[in-house]
Amino acid sequence: MSHDQMYVIKNRGSGRVLDVERGGQVINSPVLLFDKHAQDNQKWSHNKYNQICTALKPGGEDVAIHIHDRSTGQVIMSVCEKDPTKAKDQMWLRNADGTIACYDDPQYVLSAGAGNQGDHLKVEQKGNPPPASQLWDWEAM
């Protein structure tokens, strides 16, 4: 996988894709599910720091999927941390089983929940086996 390759990331359960609320133009916007339109707020890369970054650059900044609150599982877009000691809440593993797991705790994965359009993404404990709401396909753009 090239770190420069852009992808649409589609949930296997709902068929909807990762999107950024407010068109991705506002830092700290929630990450949500939406029907595919393949605009920049639905295009993602997985960089050398293991961050999942959107093609958009609000305010000229690179932004990545970030666990805002581990107790609630809330996921937002925030400015990319380049210091690995500060980036743990932005680092993700693409697993062979289709899950996208927290780098520092792979038992927690991105989940689409009910999979409705506009539903916010969450991080939750990985199912055994993981349900379709926790499985993702990366479609090259």
Query: For 96-128, what is each residue's pLDDT tens digit?
Result: 999 999 999 999 999 998 888 889 999 999 999
Contact status, residue 98 vs residue 137, Cβ threshold 8 Å: yes
Band (pLDDT 50/70/90 cuts) for residue 3 is: low
pLDDT, one tens digit per residue, over 41-99 is 999 999 999 999 999 888 888 899 999 999 999 999 999 998 888 899 999 999 999 99
Domains of the chain plus CATH, in order, are 7-140 (2.80.10.50)
Among residues 21, 8, 47, 6, the alpha carbon closest in space to that of 121 is found at 21
Q: What Cα–Cα distance (Å) separates residue 126 from each residue in 36, 73, 91, 101, 108?
A: 25, 12, 16, 8, 5
Q: Please provide the DSSP assignment of 54-79 as one string.
A: ES--GGG--EEEEEEETTTTEEEEEE
- In the DSSP assignment, the letter for residue 106 is T
